[in-house]
Structure 1
Amino acid sequence: MNKEFKQGNFLDFFIFVKKGMSVYTQNIYHVVFSTFSQEETIKTNGQKVLFKYIWELLKNKNCELYRINGTANHLHLAMSLQPLIALNSMVKDIQQSTTEFITESHLFPDFAGWQEGYAAFSHSYKEKAELVNYIKSQEAFHEKHTFEEEITQLKQLHGLN
């Protein structure tokens, strides 16, 4: 440490460190959450409107959405967050905001909200393309697998039992 700060007070040290600090992060999250009781209420004809709303929400918080997709009963997001935003807070914000948006716009008349909780998995930058492709192919994936099977597979793949 520079000797001129050895005798300074804590505030001087904090200002010195703050001015010289940079924050670099690369956290890509795969977030999955379902509709209440996994009811199939997110109809295809309104999904693009919902996806655009979520993209705008994340963009306004300086977060990046790499891909969003889903089926009638759940969504997948590949995203990065700003370092000061907690994942749990962001997911809650997405769920609360979209519930209000869907209700006010009558986008999905039978929508009863989101299931409490979510699944989230971290990915490296090298895995981003594979994750985006996985999310793109949700319709084809769910022709053969249920949501429950998918969550079980994802948990096993990421070492969660």
Structure 2
Amino acid sequence: MPNSYTQIHIQFVFAVKYRAALIADEWKDELMMFITGIFQHNDHKMLQINTMPDHVHIFIGMRPHQAVSDLIKNVKTESSKWIKAKKFCQGSFAWQEGYGAFSYAKSQVPDVIRYIQNQQKHHQKKTFLEEYREFLTKFEVEWDEQYIFKELE
């Protein structure tokens, strides 16, 4: 669209259903490449992606032609189908309902990229839920504990 100029940087965080540790080292690189392809196919710029066994961090330059909710629904649906088709998990695979989306200024981009690159090291000190609650607090997002990513009870 002519005369439309944007600079939108968003970090997405979402988890495996019940935060099960299903994303294995053997195929996580393939998963990250597949998810990157979905973002690129939707004309967004992948800045950084990294996975832990139970969740994903994605940082993109987002184009304004698509709603955040539609984009993440597409990413979660297509990547879940792909994981199942590849038979990467013994049982079924699903992403937990919901996601976090946090916006950043251009000056913060290098720090966010570094943060996502260092997830494995970061999670030696802090659990996913501790990290997620810190995001919600830092970004002043109102939240209800009953809707935070749950473990299988």
Whether TM-score is above 0.5 comes out as: yes
Distance in 1, matches of 2:72 and 2:37, equals: 14
Candidates 43, 57, 66, aligned match of 2:24: 43
Gaps of 5+ in 1: 1-17
Pair 1:115-2:90 in alignment? no
In percent, how many aligned pairs have the same letter?
A: 23
Q: TM-score, normalised by structure 1?
A: 0.84
Paired position in structure 1 for 2:84: 103
Paired position in structure 2 for 1:25: 6
The count of aligned residue pairs is 142
Q: TM-score, normalised by structure 2?
A: 0.89
Distance in 2, matches of 1:130 and 1:111, equals: 35
Candidates 55, 61, 84, aligned match of 2:65: 84
Q: Secondary structure at the match of 1:85?
A: coil
Task: Indicate the larger mover: 63-72 or 79-88.
Answer: 79-88
**Higher RCO (CA < 8 A, seq sep 6+):** 2
Report the Cα offset of residue 111 of structure 1: 5.0
CA shift in 2, pair 1:156/1:125, >3 Å: same
- RMSD (CA atoms): 1.3
Paired position in structure 2 for 1:136: 117
Paired position in structure 1 for 2:50: 69
Q: Which has the higher helix share?
A: 1
Pair 1:157-2:138 in alignment? yes
Q: Secondary structure at the match of 2:36?
A: helix
Q: Which amino acid aligns with 1:117?
A: G
Paired position in structure 2 for 1:145: 126
Gaps of 5+ in 2: 143-153
Distance in 2, matches of 1:44 and 1:154, equals: 25
Distance in 1, matches of 2:22 and 2:91, equals: 6
Paired position in structure 2 for 1:3: none
Q: Which amino acid aligns with 1:35?
A: V
